[in-house]
Amino acid sequence: MMKRFILLSLIGAVILTVLHIEWVCAQGTLKMSTTTSTENSGLLDFLLPEFTRETGIDVRVLAKGTGAALRDGMDGNVDIVFVHDRPREERFVAEGFGAYRLPVMHNDFVILGPSEDPAGIKGLREASAAMKKIYENRSKWISRGDDSGTHAKEQALWHAAGAPMIIGSRVVTLSGQSKTIDQAEPASSADWYVSIGQGMGKTLTFAEEKQAYTLADRGTFLQYKYGRDQGLDLEILCEGDPELFNPYGIIPVSPERHPHVQFAAAERLAKWLVSPRGQRLIGEYRIHGLQAFFPDTIASEP
């Protein structure tokens, strides 16, 4: 009798959970703010249709820099964030804006430039040494300048290179809204350093136009280099430094901070991405036969 009662209770709990998720999803599409690299690389176009097919949950993607994505979560404008700046992600959770963070995947950053390589950085493994040569030669550099995870990494690399920095603030337009962001950039940079306040794709296009150096995540670089008919006339000139490691985390927005968020559906997406199914798909995603992202909870085949 007791076993039957426990079984019925478990069945009832499962039914209530499913009904709750269906009710939550009926209120509107799940909104996810994410870094531009997950969209520009083509990864989300590969993953999300499978998630929707398996769960019935539609996901609306808002792609922007990590800083802007986290602000969406702070303001309760989205249900979940998927970004790549771990210190800020952990602070987001510690301050009560996120319910928890799950590590999903990683790739790396690469320093790109023209084949002529005027700063002579090709083949350098240490990213700070490459950045130092670019600074010393005043070679043209294009910065995202958009408070993204890539922008944060770039600033850290300039510091590591020993470049004197100036701290300031600037107004940028992110997703149609004007925002004031704080940023550090190399001193004496007026003639060679261009901060454009744009996402990764537009930064790559502009760097190609100017035949300049820039920092990119590997996934977006591969997509722009090999996943488009027009290709990309920039090359990887520095890679492999552990300092270029680039982890991504998924964070459901806290329902305690914002009770209106679709937490049940957001949690289902977060846990699907770190499930064997989601992780296997991440590991299988290829751009021109090259792996763009590596799952963090299961091993992937090279």
Type of residue at 50: E
**Poorest-pLDDT segment among 2-6, 51-55, 178-182:** 2-6
* 13/188: higher pLDDT: 188
Q: What is the length of the chain? A: 302
Total structural domains within the chain: 2
CATH number for the domain spanning 70: value is 3.40.190.10
Same domain, 137 and 92: no
- Mean pLDDT for 271-295 is 96
The band of 297, judged by pLDDT with boundaries at 50, 70 and 90, is confident
Domain membership of residue 41 as a residue range:
16-106+247-295
pLDDT tens digit sequence for 233-269: 999 999 999 999 999 999 999 999 999 999 999 999 9
The tally of CA atoms less than 13 A away on the side-chain side of residue 271 is: 8
| Residue 81 covered by a domain | yes
pTM of the model: 0.81
| Residue 8 covered by a domain | no
pLDDT at residue 184, as a whole number: 87
- Mean pLDDT for 258-285 is 97
- Mean pLDDT for 21-26 is 45
| Residue 3 covered by a domain | no
| Residue 5 covered by a domain | no
pLDDT tens digit sequence for 80-112: 999 999 999 999 999 999 999 999 999 999 999
